[in-house]
Amino acid sequence: MCLAIPAEVVELKENELALIDIGGARKQISMMLVDDVGVGDYVLVHAGFAIEKIDEEEAARTMELLRQLAGLDEIP
């Protein structure tokens, strides 16, 4: 199963690269698969590539679902 994680673009770099923020963790990824993305936009990231631009609301909903899934092992 593949999983894409929402992330905020915090810096655009040369050679179609960007610095993203995922819950406080920052990572450099490739932007070669998406167009028209700027600083402050949200993207879905999979295997080091932005694969789709999404809106902030969708990013927040997805992150909340991931948080809920991460806590499933805590349910008695």
Q: What is the value of pTM for the model shown?
A: 0.86
What confidence score (pLDDT) does residue 74 get? 59
Upper half-sphere CA count for residue 42 (Cβ side, 13 Å): 16
Higher-confidence residue of 2 and 5: namely 5
Query: Candidates 3.40.50.2000, 3.40.640.10, 2.30.30.140, 3.40.50.2300; correct CATH number of 5-74?
Result: 2.30.30.140
Q: What is the mean pLDDT of residues 10-31?
A: 96
Q: Where are the domains of the chain?
A: 5-74
Q: What is the mean pLDDT of residues 43-68?
A: 94
What confidence score (pLDDT) does residue 70 get? 80
Q: What is the Cα–Cα distance from 46 to 52, expressed in whole angstroms?
A: 10
With a pLDDT cut of 90, the percent of the chain lying above it is 74
Q: What is the pLDDT of residues 42-55, one digit of tens each?
A: 999 999 999 999 99
User: H or E stretch including 66?
Assistant: helix 56-70
Give 1's pLDDT tier (boundaries 50, 70, 90). Answer: low
